[in-house]
Structure 1
């Protein structure tokens, strides 16, 4: 039971980390585009 709970928490953390990187990537692209213009 503890192991499965830990696995779910880890998976959730990985998904959240991926979304954070996506958001950061989008914002970085916006800043880069505004600078290159």
Structure 2
């Protein structure tokens, strides 16, 4: 949604940070574990 511009305009630098974080499998797993607790 954010990448496709559906949530408004974000800076390209911020979008690149989101994409980099999304590619870090262990970061995603930690967030999923934290939200389940």
TM-score norm. by structure 1 comes to 0.39
The structure where helix makes up a greater share of residues is: 1
- Greater RCO (Cα-Cα under 8 Å, separation 6 or more): 2
